Chains A and B, each alone.
Chain A
Amino acid sequence: MNGPHDLGGQHGLGPIAPEKDEPYFHAEWEKRALGVTLSCGAFGAWTIDESRHARESLPPTTYLSASYYEVWTRALQALLKRHGFLTQAELDAGHMLEKGTEPKRTLRAEMVADVLAKGGPCDRPIATPPRFAAGERVRTKNFNPETHTRLPRYARAKIGVVEAVQGSFVFPDDNAHGKGENPQWVYTVVFDGGDIWGDGADPTLTVSIDAWESYLERA
């Protein structure tokens, strides 16, 4: 999706302004937003890919002006409504009005340590061998789907070199939309800075992405 999230190479977004001794949270509500988001993730109702797509689907003005936990929270509201866990009327009222969807599981305090330690590995075995090998030249595909993808715009239709075969992983472009995990090989593909940015690029720069096999063709 060519959404507001696809930021690589955009100009005019201002200085970075690192903060000295930055705290983990800047407000109490951010702590709750993190915890609520992770707790709802434990329902098992949506994948990380669907939640990323919910975030990038926010209106650009919202996405670019909101703090990160605000982006998380607004996307979470959309996911909870989409999957029937609550309604807008309940959010407006600030209270439960009706029973909603039953989750596969709920996260209790005593489960937190194990769940965080386990994480959500997304490597999956596949039967087919990798199509590309380290050292091979590849061209990224040129596409502009309205759906979720992890091939950034700046790296589309560009020639690069496969540096490493990283293993086989869940394919987010399908998994974000309930079409299954459909794992594919993932490759680290390196581009010369000049091949991406053209004249004026830093002559010492190389940029790599991790690309699923279907993003690539032989160059």
Chain B
Amino acid sequence: MSEHHHGHDHGHDHHHHDNHFTDMEARVKALETVLTEKGLIDPAAIDAIVETYETKVGPRNGACVVAKAWSDPQFSDWLKRDATAAIASLGFAGRQGEHMRAVFNTPETHNLVVCTLCSCYPWAVLGLPPVWYKAPPYRSRAVIDPRGVLAEFGLELPVEKKIRVWDSTAELRYLVVPERPVGTEGLSEEELADLVTRDSMIGTGLALSREVAR
């Protein structure tokens, strides 16, 4: 690493950094090496899995579902009745999206999704979950102090708005359909999808207004 030779000597050997693995780097590397030597895993399969979730399966899938539900009342009804089939009709299915349920925000009720027991999350429509979704602070507080949780996301709901928390304790995976922002009549599904954030489909945010999205 040539940038280590700029003459500022901190009194320890910078060259060691090239070979310095953290505990987890070393642990995972050992695991992958042993399993590869045994023929149990294919490193190229791991590359393919990572590529899938980095480039193919992400929140845009869910945003397309929501945009279609906003634009097409028939699809919206189908999504309410049988989210798994309705979502699959758009080509989004598979691991951690085998059994889907869509829950719709209304003027009266805001929906929030959590998995207090692990980190159940609808991968097929939202991709891999963010760190905070999987971490103890969110998992502990979403069910007991949802307003406090939402405030940390910068979302202050009116006091009279009811909060419905869905604890994903079985194999059903939840997709929140946020309310359609006002002033979005005439937008295409593609333009509407730009307003749908990942957080709005978990319930820790709202859909963006047209102005903010610009």
Contacts and interface: CB of A to CB of B under 8 A. Distances in A.
Interface in B153-167: 153, 159-167
B40 A40 contact: yes
Interface stretch (B11-19, B43-51, B175-183): B43-51
B128 interface: yes
Interface string B105-146: 000000000001111000010011011101111111101111
A115 B97 CA distance: 13
- Could you say which of A29, A40, A86, A154 has the most chain B C-beta atoms within 10 Å of its C-beta? A29
Interface string A1-40: 0000111111101111111001011111101111110111
Contact of B139 (A7, A29, A112): A7
Interface stretch (B1-9, B20-28, B185-193): B20-28
A112 B172 contact: no
Contacts of A132: none
B140 to A, nearest CB: 4
Interface string A126-158: 000000000000000000000000111011000
Nearest to B144: A9
A106 B42 contact: yes
A29 B42 contact: no
Interface in A102-131: 103, 106-109, 111-113, 115-123
Nearest to A187: B170
A123 B99 contact: yes
A122 B172 CA distance: 10
A177 to B, nearest CB: 17
Contacts of A170: 171
B213 interface: no
B31 A38 contact: no
B35 A116 contact: no
8 pairs of A and B residues whose beta carbons are closest in the complex = A35-B46, A8-B116, A210-B170, A109-B44, A96-B37, A112-B48, A94-B30, A119-B95
Given A5-B118, A7-B117, A10-B136, 16 more contacts: A8-B140, A16-B135, A16-B137, A24-B128, A29-B25, A34-B50, A109-B42, A109-B45, A113-B52, A116-B94, A117-B94, A119-B95, A120-B95, A154-B144, A166-B170, A206-B164
Interface of B: 22, 24-25, 27-35, 37-42, 44-50, 52-54, 57, 93-99, 101, 116-119, 124, 127-128, 130-132, 134-141, 143-147, 149, 152-153, 159-172, 199, 204
